[in-house]
A and B are shown apart, each in its own frame.
Chain A
Amino acid sequence: MNKFTFTTLIFVLLFGEQCVAADGSLQRIEVYPTEVNLLSNRSRAQLVVTGQFNNDEVRDLTREAKILSTDNEIASVTNGIVSPHLDGSATLQVVVGTQSAVVPVTVSNQAAPDPIRFKHETLAILTKQGCNSGSCHGSPQGKGGFSLSLFAYAPHLDEEALVRDGFNRRTSVIDPPASLLLKKPTLRVTHVGGKRLRRGELAYQILHDWIYEGANGDSVDALTCTKIEVHPGQQRLLHKPHADQQLSVIAHFSDGSTRDVTSIATYDTSRDEVVQVEPNGLVRGHQRGQAAITVRYLEHLQSVYFTIVEDVEGFVWMDPAENNYVDQHVHAKLRQLQYLPSGLCSDAAFLRRVHLDLTGLLPAVERAKTFFADGSQQKRAALIDELLVCDEHARFWSLKTADLMRVNAQKLKDGRAELFANWIYEACRDNVPVDEFARNVLLASGNTLEHPAANYFQAVGLPEDLAETTSQIFMGSRIGCAKCHNHPFENWTQNDYYRISAVFRRVENKDNIVTLTAMGEMTNPSTGKVMLPWGAPADQVADETTDRRIAFADWLTDADNPFFARVEVNRIWSHLLGRGIVEPIDDFRSSNPPSNVELLDTLAADFVASGYDRRHIIRTICDSRTYQRSVETNAFNETDEQLFSRARARLLTAEQIQDAVALVSGALSHPTTDDDRMKFATQRPLPEQTEFLKAFGQPKRETPCACERASEPTLDQAIQLLNGQQVFAQVNGSVSRFGKLDDETLINALYLAAFSRTPTDFEASFAQRHLTTSDNRDDAVRDLVWALVNTQEFMFQH
């Protein structure tokens, strides 16, 4: 102890004041893990030293800390990593500035052999070095004749490939360094995949020692890894310039033992402009923003969400007004990351925006006039309420649902598509709670001409397809990758995939009648094991009369389900704001974090509390100032793309723009009857597929992916609007509606119809000059209509 106290003293004297932050002083330090047990001569432990400062800042001090062992012959520390030497106990003294902490260390089994574990180490290294990725030896054909299972999902195949294939040249037990497994990635012989390994590195050492020890696979009773534990937990906020964070990854095994796997786990970042991560688990923040660091070890995956905060010069938070909790959460995030929200949009912009979003149609000229004339403070909220109960709203929103449910007449023949589409429309019209809607779909059976929802099983088919489609629609999860292999960025494993498939295994569709059979199990093709259906307790499964879908639907629509409510509110949010809080909206996974966790969670909780009332969520979002912001940027939000500090201008959808051209040209008038409504593409849950609609990205309804609807501008769209048959015919016909109006009335009417605003003086006079100077007024009217439907202001929602 004497030695120890003395060194501590020296350190305090030498380095004492150096580590105190300029902007806050260090209050205390914590060390993770709080104790270290090194159970083998190859065990190591990564320490993580965290400092708490008096300005509430939390900072990683692992690299600043001075760490000393009371007995270097038992355990020593280099760069924050503890190594064992002799059996016994020691204490580590960790010092930063005036703060210190102690960590007890126990070392055992140092004389006992500890052979390399094939799956837990050899394969983990091959994964970490990228050898078994889809672009290298993990591709279905392998590379250069050497094939590994993708991300090591099949260890027995890998053992075969490493030890027995390739004429035993890949692993040479007699002369390990001569193994191709070591020569190729170190480029001692040509390797198309380049340099992947260096002698002297831990990865090299592990592969070398594994070969040296006999290149053995795991025994049948080998331990399995049950979970990984990542420090510092789920999220961490870092302030630049102190934006580094060392991670610690500890694997738990089936015998209750643990082992530090920080050095052999694999790390990825979701946005490398924000944070990057080094192979040893050191995370480095680069610029303000949010990103997930995903830690993988074998089939286990965990993400840590990093928020990097950086002071922006001149930024002052102005406490902007808030209409409801949406604004509170959006503002909290903006303030944290130092963005300022834009101001509210004009009444004209709001009117056009909310009509397009809620009904799919441009506002009628008369409605625009009354809205502008209305002096009430509450007129925006009143308009939202008015639109939410109109038939156009139910029709337009049922189209979105029908897109995902794959309601297409090619698949659903003899009127089934119409039947299913109409059923979806009625659910929207009656605002059927979304959990009830999901149950009605997932539990449907019977003749598909009599039971509309049963067409879900007609449109989708096969248990695997049903599993993938259901997961994507209701859980926002793309589980498709797990059909063949565990995915590097997905929490869904192959077992999960076949467990969800098992839910639908006994659904049968014979002669267009959906029934349940009493037999049929799902097996995981990799393991040959029968899979328990997802959501079902084992005793229920035994009963052959039980509809396995019920337990799944119960799990899915439970208030605590982590996906269902979040996925639905995120879809609604994306329809209204042009981007999801999770984006892509049907790609929920821990490696793809929400841009505002609290916002998403609060919306989801409100949705559950409201009884899954979709209209309530739409109203709440539309009522917020966040929804009503202008597209105009300010100096403090120009670079914001994810935090909703301003409105996003976006191209009208295919159906919206087709109807908008028809309304502005006068080819159609605002609908008043059901027959009228059916003339509008936005009002038919089963729209026809035309050249025009396809050009603007109308989905074919062949997949459950929201990405099937293309939203990017294309050349074809420009050609359709400038010169397409449909626009040409409607522009030509516009004369019959507008030709007789005098210039001023005509120009005003067109501007109101197209943009929901009156023309500026310049626009009015320019348009009038065109009308009066042309030799043929009818042609001049057509020119004007044509020009307006080709403007950005028309094509975009803003």
Chain B
Amino acid sequence: MHLPRLNRRSFVRLGACSLSALGGLPRSSASLARAARAKNVLVVFEQGGMSHIDTWDPKPDLPAEHSSPFKNISTNVPGIEVTELLSKTSKHADKLTIVRCMTQPTPGIGNSHPKGSQYIFSGEAPGGPIVMPDISSVVSSVLGTKAPHLPSNILVPGTSEQQHNTRIGFLPPAHKVFKTGGQPHHPDWKVPNLGLLGIDERRFKIRSDLLSNLDVGIPGGTRAKDAQTMLALRAQAENMLTNPATRKAFDLQGEPDAIREAYGKGHRGQCYLLGRKLIESGVRFVTIDVREPPSKDYPGGSNMNWDHHDFIYSKADTKIKGGGAGAGRWGIATWPMMGSTDQAISALLEDMDQRGLLDETLVCFVSEFGRTPKINERKGRDHWTHAFAFAFAGAGVPGGQLVGSTDKDGGYITSPMAYTLDDYAATIYEKLGIDRTKPLPTPENRPIYLAMHGHPIRELF
């Protein structure tokens, strides 16, 4: 879906038809195999609509009353600039492609947080005849697991809010995203259901032995298919519960202090670190969606996503108790917001690079939309779906690349290319080598094509 504001015919007149059409064609299996560089995907979803103008797409020429107070800084790649809120990340621009021409093609659909979040999780605008499963669930169902002792699709940490945005759609429940829950940075944090409950390993072993001796099967019916499946699942579950590698994958305490410090020891940093650990442990698809929990460290913070309708540049919390859309949020430049984010992104990129994890892992920094070029009367910025920015790394994504551009206000895309959330989904599928020309059937046998309205972002291949 290129140049969404032009229809196909006017587009042809521009003479760009051939280019766009080539990018849009599903690949032949040979070129698909070449494009398939990713074995895993790590999505960092900073939910709420992060202001692109204050981060990835700086706009020094905004009129004073709407300007961003943050300086432009250069990065380690000549010609690429970001704002000073990404000063640590700027040292890793050589690993990133920054795409400044992201857009939602039909702005009405995903302009709310629940719908926008569902859109980014599933890669298809909500409201169609079929509820589209999350990209991560599709990947889990098509590619299966790489590490049977772990769920293949994990959300870190996963709150009740996301419950309403993630969807399993028509896929079997086995591929539903597994939510770690809780606050991983907390010393007492444990993943529910993945550690033995109230029983030690020795006793569990005794029980398992007892079970295998007493489980005589279904009398006369040992060939029942579901029973065979259940036996295999039980073996997998026992493995999950007792395999030291499962615990290790979630064991943040076991990480060297220097590493934990590098990511930032708070909620966001430790969630990012957990994301890296899970990818390293063989989890196919990890989504990090932190939504900072209320904490006494950040008084007044009760709703700390990026939805800065009010006092976006506040130096601490937005001080609007019980009123205004920005209630319970902290200003964008504060530590719990961009401070911890900049640190965590830079640490993640450096750490994954050093461990060689970027070779086969596609890392995506995303938000459901951007924020308005204009500052509103409450000194905040509102939702903006026309243009926003994502950043990608790993799995063959070229480093030190800028893709697309917006006008001087950051309001509209000026580059010939524009990419949608559908294109983002198509990119993930293609990077993983998933053949989008093969539909998934619903239980009612309706053929469902993956990212049907999307085309891979060419510049990432």
Contact = CB atoms under 8 A, between A and B. Distances in A.
Interface of A: 134-135, 139, 141, 144-145, 192, 346, 349, 478, 480-481, 483-484, 584, 587, 630-633, 638, 647-651, 697, 707, 710, 712-720, 722-725, 728, 732, 760, 763, 766-767, 770, 774, 779, 783-784, 786-788, 790-793, 795-796, 798
A728 B198 contact: yes
Interface residues of B, number: 52
Contacts of A484: 129
Interface string B20-34: 010011100000000
A715 B246 CA distance: 15
B258 interface: no
Contact of B241 (A584, A649, A719, A783): A719
A145 B12 CA distance: 11
Interface of B: 8, 21, 24-26, 129, 151, 172-174, 193, 196-199, 203, 206-207, 210-211, 213-221, 223-224, 226-227, 229-231, 233-234, 236-238, 240-241, 437, 439, 443-444, 446-447, 449, 452-453
12 contacts: A135-B439, A139-B449, A141-B452, A141-B453, A145-B21, A631-B221, A712-B174, A718-B233, A718-B236, A719-B241, A796-B226, A798-B224
A342 to B, nearest CB: 8
Contacts of A713: 226, 229-230, 233
B206 A796 contact: no
Contact of B197 (A647, A707, A723): A723
A715 B224 contact: no
Given A139-B452, A714-B173, A763-B216, A648 B237 contact: no
A767 to B, nearest CB: 7
A725 B227 contact: no
B214 A791 contact: yes
B219 A349 contact: yes
A137 to B, nearest CB: 13
Given A135-B439, A192-B26, A484-B129, A732 B198 contact: yes
Q: Which 9 A-B pairs have the closest CB atoms?
A: A632-B220, A631-B221, A718-B237, A649-B224, A787-B211, A713-B230, A791-B215, A649-B221, A718-B233
B216 A787 contact: no
B207 A715 contact: no
Contacts of B227: 649, 792, 796
A762 to B, nearest CB: 9
B230 A633 contact: no
A719 B226 contact: no
Contact of B234 (A139, A722, A763, A766): A722
B8 A714 contact: no
Contact of B220 (A630, A650, A651): A630
Contacts, number: 152
A480 B442 CA distance: 14
B230 A725 contact: no
Contacts of B214: 763, 766-767, 787-788, 791
A667 B234 CA distance: 24
Residue among A145, A346, A649 with the most chain B CB within 10 A?
A649
Nearest to B444: A478
Contact of A631 (B210, B215, B224): B224
A725 B207 contact: no
Nearest to B216: A793
A723 B196 contact: yes
Contacts of B206: 774, 783
Nearest to B212: A787
Contacts of A774: 206
Contact of A649 (B129, B173, B174, B218): B218
A649 B225 CA distance: 9
A791 to B, nearest CB: 4
Given A192-B26, A718-B236, A763-B214, 16 more contacts: A139-B452, A346-B219, A631-B218, A651-B230, A714-B233, A717-B230, A719-B240, A722-B238, A763-B216, A766-B213, A783-B203, A787-B211, A790-B234, A791-B211, A791-B214, A791-B216
A689 to B, nearest CB: 12
